[in-house]
Amino acid sequence: MFDDRFSDRTNWKLAQNRLTQAVEEARAVGAKLLDLTVSNPTRVGLEYDPHAILAALGSARSLDYDPQPKGLVSAREAVAGYYREQHGVQDLDAQRIVLTTSTSEGYSYVFRLLCNAGDELLVPKPSYPLFEFLADLEDVRLAPYPLIYDHGWQMDFPSLEKAVTAKTRGVVLVHPNNPTGSYVKAGEREMLNAFCRERGLAVVVDEVFLDYGLDAVAQNTRVGTGALGRPVERSSTVSCLGKAGPQGFKPKSSMDLSGAAEAAPLQRPNPDAGSAVELRSTGQPRAAVPTWSFVRNDEVLTFTLSGLSKISALPQMKVAWVVTSGPEAEVSAAMGRLEVIADTYLSMNAPVQWALPVLLEQRKSVQRQLMARVRANLAELDRQLAGQTTCTRLDVEGGWYAVLRVPVTRSDEELAIELVREKRALVHPGHFYDFPGDGYLVVSLIAAPEEFAEGLARVLTKLQQG
């Protein structure tokens, strides 16, 4: 009754989705659910160093107010040090780093920098559903480009070309993607840079899961033939729009594939060049992935987002950042405007900025624990899958999630609801992430091992029962 009092940008569908309702009903009667969707690393039994963390937050330097729009120099230098130590980026200038309270705030800054009201950004599907909320709040339209699965996930460049219009301002990547766990390959990066350079587009990259690589060949393989136009199963998302998301609701869709402009074909790299390694699931242990970061990308204007939420598994500390790279003149112009945007809000607090060097150091312990957890749960998943023929998993190169391919005997949402009600196991249906249709479930690999094993067993039992 009050719709006319509020902006159209907040006219979301706020009702809970049916899965959330089923979960609340189960918990209301005291049922213990085995949660295979857990994403909060502070509640999965990791060991932190509370003394070091709390002591770092108690610095007396926090009593002084020093409003720096991009963040305190010492904090930004700590971020540059992380990239130097973890990813071999020796020449990252801390002046190109802007601290934010979250990657969501970082997206907001970048969207405001690049887009006027009604402008468009190209976003991958399947991927994280939060993009639509962020875009709505900035009056930005999102146009999806599909990822395709052909011996591993790949960007679909023919579809990317069709999606671009005169309103397009940039291409969003998630590296590695959530939930598919796929990294952007070196060949894809070359093609993307050529695509954006020709059209004057920026690249916006979310690297929050960058440090959690599982597959040593993930970023160095050629671009598969499917990405170059060979017919394969495509992850088009048009049929999935408008369904409720994992927060319990999802806004009206701002996606639109209509009116896509024709573009000249890209000059594609030789598909036979480099190492040609198929990304099939073997179940064998693999070396850590060589994690190339887009903060190195100097070919086109690039904004790389990350933060403590995943790097140090400290989401409650509310520290993230945007790193700008690319041609020098474009970087200089972008940084001048970003600094004004950041200065308008000054959202960072002093204690967490002074503590940032210590908080980043915590990653060395917590990432070892998380990688051991992810690998153990992935091995358990493969062990249980080997004992049945109903369900398979898709290849995963990094991140905290695995995607299961299941029989399409009902909608993914119906299956997830039945699992809650009958098996007391909670998984995410694929449509939460805009998978192309039914037949996909997403499970977290950071759940406690005992809970993961039992919950997975219940899921597979249900699938075998039909």
pLDDT digit string, tens, across residues 121-177: 999 999 988 899 999 999 999 999 999 998 899 999 999 999 999 999 999 999 999
Domain CATH for 231: 3.40.640.10
Cα four-point dihedral sign 243, 249, 251, 255? negative
**Rounded CA separation 235/456 (Å):** 25
Inter-axis angle of helices 50-57 and 350-361, to 10 degrees?
150
> For residues 403 and 180, is the Cβ–Cβ distance under 8 A?
yes
Q: Which of 362, 384, 416 is the last residue of a domain?
A: 362
Specify whether 38 is located in the same domain as 101.
no
Question: Within 13 Å and on the Cβ side, how many CA atoms surround 441?
Answer: 29
Residue 224: pLDDT band by 50, 70, 90 thresholds?
A: very low
Residues 381 and 352 in one domain: no
The rounded distance, in Å, linking the Cα atoms of 11 and 252 is 8
User: Is residue 269 located within the same domain as residue 291?
Assistant: yes
Does the N-terminal peptide bond of residue 126 adopt cis geometry, omega within 30 degrees of 0? yes
Least confident of 92-101, 205-214, 271-280, 318-327: 271-280
Q: Are residues 36 and 67 in the same domain?
A: no
Confidence bin at 12 (pLDDT 50/70/90): confident
Residue 125 lies in a domain: yes
Domain identity same for 349 and 223: yes
Residue 192 · residue 139 · CB < 8 Å: no
| Chain segment 64-99, per-residue pLDDT in tens | 999 999 999 999 999 999 999 999 999 999 999 999
**What was the pLDDT predicted at 284?**
41
Give the mean model confidence (pLDDT) for residues 38-43: 97
pLDDT at residue 31, as a whole number: 97
Q: What is the DSSP string of 129-162?
A: THHHHHHHHTT-EEEEEEEEESSSEEE-HHHHHH
Give me the pLDDT at residue 114, please: 98
pLDDT of 263: 37
- Do 375 and 277 reside in the same domain of the chain? no
Reported as a pLDDT band with limits 50, 70 and 90, residue 249 is: very low
Which pLDDT belongs to residue 215?
A: 64
The per-residue pLDDT for 229 is 36
> At 29, which CATH number?
3.90.1150.10
Compute the 3-state secondary structure of the chain and give helix, strand, coil in percent, each to the nearest 5: 40, 15, 45
For 137-141, 158-162, 215-219, 299-303, which range has the lowest pLDDT when averaged over its residues? 215-219
In terms of domains, do 461 and 354 share one? no
Instruction: Report pLDDT for 175.
Output: 96
Domain that holds residue 277: 60-362
Nearest Cα to Cα of residue 458 among 30, 24, 33: 33
Last residue of a domain, one of 326, 347, 362: 362
pLDDT of the residue at 420: 98
153 and 271 inside one domain: yes
pLDDT at residue number 268: 39
Do 181 and 236 belong together in one domain? yes
| One domain for residues 209 and 95 | yes
- Reference 357, options 53, 71, 38, 13; nearest CA is 53
pLDDT higher than 90, residue 279: no
Percentage of the chain exceeding pLDDT 70: 83
Same domain, 69 and 94: yes
Q: Give the pLDDT of residue 253.
A: 39
Q: Among 273-282, 285-294, 399-408, which is the least confidently predicted range?
A: 273-282
| Cβ-Cβ contacts under 8 Å for 407 (sequence gap 6 or more) | 390, 391, 439, 463
Considering the domain boundaries, does residue 52 fall inside one?
no
Residues 347 and 269 in one domain: yes
Residue 246 has pLDDT above 70, yes or no: no
CA distance 466 to 212: 34
Q: How many domains does the chain have?
A: 2
**Structure pTM?**
0.86
What's the order of all strands across the beta sheet hosting 141-149? 97-100, 320-325, 302-307, 202-206, 168-174, 120-125, 141-149, 153-155
For the chain, what is the total number of helices (H) and then of strands (E)?
13, 14
- Residue whose pair of structure tokens reads 């957890």 in the numeric block: 373
Task: Give the integer Cα–Cα distance in Å for 425 and 454.
Answer: 9
- Judge whether 53 lies within some domain: no
Last residue of a domain, one of 325, 347, 362: 362
